[in-house]
Structure formats: structure tokens, C-alpha cells
Amino acid sequence: MDLISIALLLLVILTVLLAGGVWIAVALMACGYAGMLFVGGNVPPGSVLATTVWGNSASWSLAALPLFIWMGEILFRTKLSEEMFRGLAPWLNWIPGRLMHVNVLACGIFGSVSGSSAATCATVAKIALPELKKRGYDEKISLGSLAGAGTLGILIPPSIMMVIYAVQANVSIIQVFLAGFLPGLLVMVLYSGYIAIWSLANPDKQPPPEPSMTFRRKVAESAQLIPTLLLIALVFLSLLMGWATATECAAWGVMGSLAIAWWHGMLSWPSFFQSVMGATRVTCMIMLILAGASYMSTSMAYTGVPQALAAWVGHFGLSPYALIAALTVMYIVLGTALDGISMIVLTTAVVIPMIKAAGFDLVWFGIFVVLVVEMAEVSPPVGFNLFVLQTMSGKDSNFVARASLPFFFLLVLAVAIITVFPDIVMVLPRMAFPP
């Protein structure tokens, strides 16, 4: 059986297992085991499974993962969500769209200390949706902006997705983190720009401006945000200046989160235990998927399928831009059925050889992957942010999906911009780590 036939057969096996409701990690391991059987010879599939799972799970780079997840869990249980809206709102009254921009800014700020799209979306939506509805803002644009802006949780470092990609692609976690700053700012600008344009075109769908505040009153309203902003600055500066590794920054982030929780009077034994258990559940789920993916990747290496697929794609003679366009379409299609973590771990082993052959930087490609995973977060039927907002708003999934559609296309635009202007992604990593 030729390698392309083996690849198609393994794809069918994986699809059948996933469609049958088998856990993603178990399906990956089963697919990897089947691939090892095709290799034959003296390669024992069971021994390779044991050594691969242990070797990849014991990676020092992965130590940052549970810490960043725990940091987000701690902050999720503080009063940050309540203070965020009240602290940002007074500064946005003069911009078209006014308080709807709080969705974007709040998601950007919380996303930078959360690392999770769903947590970011849920936290900001919990306070923003009732406030915006009470003030008379259009519910459709409110939901759409929250669905789109919630994805900033995985684009603005520190990000769980970035850690997973960096481990899978064997690149520096810190460089991938640094590469996400400016694209994150770009996406925020695109979102806020769309909200402003929509507001100017639909003045009847928003309430009149609220009474203005004095500068002193604005500062007083925003004072509660200072501890969180200092934590963000500490993590960012430590990464940018090379003072600490990604794992050390995650540890400092956890300490800072605990301090903020104590500052707000929310640090109790029950909340501490809930944060630990929440982080443990999410970490175990991700680690199990990564273990399955590492075994499947090893199996693919033994079979030679990735190299064969890369050569097969190479026969089409696609230009670098055409390859990126094809991969964008592929990830959008995958996003309709898989979550972001699964998309990364299922495709990295096959796609990386193509990217290297096309001459793209693997750090840049990490940000591209995160952006297309963001598209998956707002793509039905498995868009996690859509699920979150559907539950919190009481609207049906079609309404939430239609509301998020403009922000989906803004993410497509962001991918096009960073492809044409890759320095937006690479300028900070090159400054911190000169070639």
C-alpha cells in the first residue's frame, strides 16, 4: 500500500472514531497505533507508545501550561469582571459605539492574563451583556463583538494555544508569545474600527451619550484596574526583556493573581480549591490530547506520511501565498468540527514540512495558526464562544452565529494582513532575539 493510501486510511479511521464519540486523545492514540502496524518490521507499537507519551509529557516547556491555566482560573474568581466594565467605560464615551468598545478592550486585558478564549468570553460577557442591554445597545452587535473579542484570550500572550503550538513545532515559547502582541493589537483595532463604522451607520440602534465625568472621577472609577494592569505589565516586560522564561513568568503570574484575589477579598480556601481543581481538569484534558498527538506524530514519522503529503502538495507547484490560502480554507473547514487544540495537534506534524519548504518562519506560522483557530472559536457548529454566548444570552445558536459573522471576516482580513506584512508578527521576536 502506498503512503498516500495509508494516509487516507488513517484519516478515515480517525474520522470514524471521532464521529463515534471516542475521546480525542484515545482516537489519536488508536490512529497512531494503526499507523505503526503499517510500518511492520521490528518496531513494537506498545513500547513506542510508552516512551513517546512519557517523553513528551515530561517536557519542561509544558510546565508553563498548568500555571497559565491556573492564573486564569484565579482571576476568573475575583471581582475583575465587575471592575473591568466600570473602569473602562468612562474613557470611551466620545468614540462612536461608545460602551461597546469595552467588549474589545476588556477581552484584550483579561485575555492577556487568562490564556483561554472561553474564559475570556464568559468573564466579560457576564458583566457586559446585562450592562449593555440595560443601557439600550443593540444586542446583535453586542453579542457579535463579544464572540469575536473573546478570541483575544488565545492571541494576546500568555496563551495556552501558543504553548501547545510551540511544543508541537519545537520553537521558542517566548518568541511565539512576543510575536502575538502586535497581531493582537491589530485585531483589536479592526474590531473597534468595525464597531465605530457600524455605529455611525446605525445611529438609531444605540442610546444617547451618557453624562460626562471629570478626569478625577474617571481615574477613581479605573483605580481598581491598577493591580491587574501591573500584573500584565510585569508578565509582558519579563518576557520582552528576557528577565524570565515563559515558565517563570507563568509562576509570577500565579503569584500576582493570588495577590489580586487577596486584594479584592476573594481569596478564601473554597475559591482557592475551586481554582486548583478547575486548572487540574483543564490541564489533564490538554495533556492527554497532547500525549495522543505526540504518539500519532511519532507514528507518522515512522510511516513517512508527512513527507509524502508535503511532496504531494509540492507537486501542485503552489506559491507561498497560495499555500497559505489553501491552509486557511483547510483550517476553517476543520474549525466547523474540531476545537482549537485538536486542530493544532492533529495538523502540525503534516503541515510543518510544507511550511518549511515554502520558506515561512515557524514563529510566524504559529500566529497564523492561532488566528485561524480564533476563526474556529466563532464558527458553527463547534464554536466554543458561540456556545458560551448562547448559554449566557438565551438566544439560539443561529442568532449568535449571524451576529459573529462580521468578526469572523475581520479575522480573515487579519490573516491576509500578516501574510502580506509578516514584519507585524516578527518585529518583536527579532528585537528580543536578534538573528
CA angle 14, 16, 19 (to 5 degrees): 105
Q: Which of 119-133, 136-150, 245-259, 417-431 has the lowest mean pLDDT?
A: 119-133
Confidence of residue 384 (pLDDT cuts 50, 70, 90): low
Provide the pLDDT for residue 420. 92
Q: Is residue 40 helix, strand or coil?
A: coil
Contacts of 54 (CB under 8 A, 6+ apart): none
384 or 188: which leads in pLDDT = 188
Residues of the chain with pLDDT > 90: what percent?
A: 12
How far apart (Å, rounded) are the C-alpha atoms in residues 31 and 297?
10
Confidence of residue 239 (pLDDT cuts 50, 70, 90): low
Contacts of 227 (CB under 8 A, 6+ apart): 256, 259, 260, 263
Kindly tell me the burial class for residue 142, based on how many C-beta atoms sit within 10 Å of its own C-beta (0-12, 13-18, 19 or more). buried
Contacts of 144 (CB under 8 A, 6+ apart): 403, 404, 405, 406, 407
pLDDT at residue 240 is higher than 70: no
> Which residue matches cell numbers 516578527?
426
**Cβ–Cβ < 8 Å for 18, 24:** yes
Confidence of residue 314 (pLDDT cuts 50, 70, 90): low
pLDDT at residue 227 is higher than 60: yes
Measured from the Cβ of residue 17, the count of other Cβ atoms closer than 10 Å reads 19
Q: Amino acid identity of 103?
A: N
How far apart (Å, rounded) are the C-alpha atoms in residues 282 and 280?
6
| Cβ burial 49-65 (10 Å sphere, 16+ → b, else e) | beebbeebeeeeebbbb
pLDDT at residue 382 is higher than 60: no
Provide the pLDDT for residue 54. 81
How far apart (Å, rounded) are the C-alpha atoms in residues 104 and 93?
14
**Which H helix or E strand runs over 144?**
helix 139-150
Nearest Cα to 382, choosing from 118, 71, 105?
118
For the chain, what are the domain ranges? Answer: 3-432
Distances (CA, A) of 81 to 122, 129, 132, 321: 10, 12, 14, 41
Q: pLDDT, tens digit, for every residue of 83-120? A: 666 777 778 777 888 778 888 887 887 777 666 676 67
Confidence of residue 343 (pLDDT cuts 50, 70, 90): confident
Provide the pLDDT for residue 410. 93
pTM of the predicted model over 0.95: no
Give the mean pLDDT of 44-60: 78
How far apart (Å, rounded) are the C-alpha atoms in residues 205 and 203?
5
pLDDT at residue 325 is higher than 80: yes
Q: pLDDT, tens digit, for every residue of 385-396? A: 777 777 777 787
For 79: left if phi > 0, alpha if psi spans -120 to 50, otherwise beta; the answer is: alpha
| Grid cell at residue 59 | 517536557
Provide the pLDDT for residue 215. 78
Q: Amino acid identity of 329?
A: V
Q: pLDDT, tens digit, for every residue of 395-433? A: 877 788 888 889 999 999 999 999 999 999 999 998 878
Confidence of residue 361 (pLDDT cuts 50, 70, 90): very high
How far apart (Å, rounded) are the C-alpha atoms in residues 282 and 76?
14
Tell me which range, 262-276, 336-350, 372-386, is most confidently predicted by mean pLDDT. 262-276
pLDDT at residue 381 is higher than 60: no
Provide the pLDDT for residue 337. 58
How far apart (Å, rounded) are the C-alpha atoms in residues 411 and 186?
10
| Grid cell at residue 414 | 487579519
**Cβ–Cβ < 8 Å for 139, 133:** yes
Handedness of CA 405, 407, 408, 410 (dihedral sign): positive
Provide the pLDDT for residue 419. 93
How far apart (Å, rounded) are the C-alpha atoms in residues 268 and 33?
46
Residues of the chain with pLDDT > 70: what percent?
A: 86
Q: Count of residues for the chain?
A: 435
Provide the pLDDT for residue 376. 77
Provide the pLDDT for residue 306. 62
Give the mean pLDDT of 209-220: 78
Provide the pLDDT for residue 356. 85
Provide the pLDDT for residue 156. 83
Average pLDDT, the chain: 80
Q: Is residue 212 helix, strand or coil?
A: coil
pLDDT at residue 375 is higher than 80: yes
Provide the pLDDT for residue 7. 73
Q: pLDDT, tens digit, for every residue of 253-267? A: 888 888 888 887 888
